[in-house]
Structure 1
């Protein structure tokens, strides 16, 4: 008889911030499995943009944004950060889909999912 695999569940983690808790096993792991890198990026967004980690799937952090970029220049810079963090952020299925078009979505969003 095969052993049963444990099912996925929820858990609580003591951490100074959601970004640090997310380092346990979240981030764009299909791109890079170094959770320290993804945690550092999310921690920077936490400090600069009021991002909070409210949930995470296997490779998908869910981040409400308190202070999204307000100018087109800021939005384009953050869009470039999103693309560097997770290239799948700019959907391949919608090509041609420019970084500038995505920047408009970044500025208007109250939540980012990767």
Structure 2
């Protein structure tokens, strides 16, 4: 089937459909009715293998693959609320994006006059934006690590020990970071509606840590990381970026302090984020 407003689909895809910018959504700069992504109609058994094949075809197809966590048949129907065009993303500086997320987080943590909730200032960082962490080191291939992580996610289990089920998604994009903004993914909407800030941060993490987008949930993100921090000092600097990017990872991730969170990042080749 030919789609005049979408790149030609690769061969050997399962049945699927194009999802378009909805008339009722917040379409931002993307025109209404624009095809945002292709998504398989159902979960696939060989999701990780298919992701790697499609990733290898990305340069030719122009379609970046994502694994989409399958919760129910309609979970993804309305999760593409904020599509933007590439010029919006290109105008977003990565460090400015992280600084903006940091500053917004600090402002949101100021209690309202009628808010009795105590904010644990001693346990979690505050103050001015600390700046970017230094790049990771190592010779590992970011793409090879992404392929390995896709294979891992194919057989992963959820919080309850149940096998995860994955649909396939294809987004016209130069990389996984930009794919999130171009498709209008609203997973972080409880933290920010400006997905271009998330994409800009991911672009910087790709440059500094060899990070690649592999999987998406309706409020989760799975990244492969080829060059993670190798010591606590570096991991602490990275943790501050994570805190700006997704504070729920620290607040609701079972960590009492930022030091505990940082220690869990040392040498780990995957970062997973969840916005409550």
What range describes the TM-score normalised by the shorter chain of this pair?
0.7 to 0.9
Partner Cα distance (1:26, 1:79) in 2: 23
TM-score (norm 1): 0.83
- 1:21 pairs, out of 167, 179, 186, with 179
What are the equivalent positions in structure 2 for 1:76-95 lying under 5 Å apart? 76-92=236-252, 94=254
Q: CA deviation at 1:103?
A: 0.5
Superposed structure 1 runs of 4+ greater than 2 Å apart: 6-11, 26-29, 91-95
> In structure 1, the residue corresponding to 2:226 is in which secondary structure?
coil
Q: CA deviation at 1:26?
A: 4.9
Of residues 9-18 and 73-82 in structure 1, the stretch that sits farther from structure 2 once superposed is 9-18
Q: State the Cα RMSD in Å.
A: 1.9
1:51, 1:64 within 8 Å by CA — same for their partners in 2?
yes
Unaligned runs of at least 5 residues, structure 2? 1-72, 77-166
TM-score (norm 2): 0.37
Mark the CA change 1:41 to 1:90 in structure 2 (over 3 Å): closer, same or farther.
Answer: same
1:28, 1:85 within 8 Å by CA — same for their partners in 2?
no
Q: CA deviation at 1:27?
A: 4.8
Mark the CA change 1:71 to 1:10 in structure 2 (over 3 Å): closer, same or farther.
Answer: same
> In structure 2, the residue corresponding to 1:11 is in which secondary structure?
strand
- 1:45 pairs, out of 205, 213, 226, with 205
- 1:67 pairs, out of 227, 232, 236, with 227
User: What corresponds to 1:106 in structure 2?
Assistant: 265
Partner Cα distance (2:207, 2:170) in 1: 22
1:38, 1:85 within 8 Å by CA — same for their partners in 2?
yes
Q: Which has the larger radius of gyration?
A: 2
User: What corresponds to 2:193 in structure 1?
Assistant: 33
1:79-114 Cα deviation digits (max 9, x unpaired): 11101111101143636x111110011113211111
**Structure richer in helix, relative to its length:** 1
Matched length: 108
